[in-house]
Amino acid sequence: MKKNLLIFVLGAAVIIALDQITKSAVMARFSLHETLMVIPGLFNLVYVMNPGAAFGFLADASPTFRYVFFIGVTITAAGLIVYYLVKSNPRNLLLAGSLTLIFGGAVGNLIDRIRFGAVVDFLDVYLGASHWPAFNVADSAITVGAVLMIWEMLRNRKSKPTPAT
């Protein structure tokens, strides 16, 4: 368990650092809403501040409500992730890795919410005129972690014998 906890802390620290370094670089080099075309028709770098969550969830809510809500939810989720990690099988590296990614991403975005009241997004993937909402390293870590966790749950479910009826 101690080894998993050390890997968890170091892995989350790397994700948080990458997230914050990339966001700082974008903020230092771009004006708000400025866009740099990287791969025409597919990928831009863009500097936006997202006051909501995924797909602009709660973007129109009052700033005070958003601040309290998102910080409270993130701190609660982070606590549950640590609890789940401590209670899980220490040999389940896929689960530990998924929790590390989700935790690191959540803390990366939490730092933005505390500092700015919004999250810095800068990765803009699109096809023609259809844009996916801009996102960041933290969002990517959370998404990959969630996919890995679902995969682990499905894999675990298949390996358990079904009860006889």
Provide the annotated active-site residues. Answer: 121, 139
In the sheet where 130-131 sits, what is the strand order?
A: 35-39, 43-50, 119-127, 130-131
How many CB atoms are located within 10 Å of the residue 54 CB?
11
The burial class, CB within 10 Å (0-12 / 13-18 / 19+), for 109 is buried
Query: Residue for token digits 């699109």?
Result: 126
- Rounded to 5 degrees, φ, ψ at 54 are -50, 135
> Are 112 and 120 contacting, i.e. CB atoms less than 8 angstroms apart?
yes
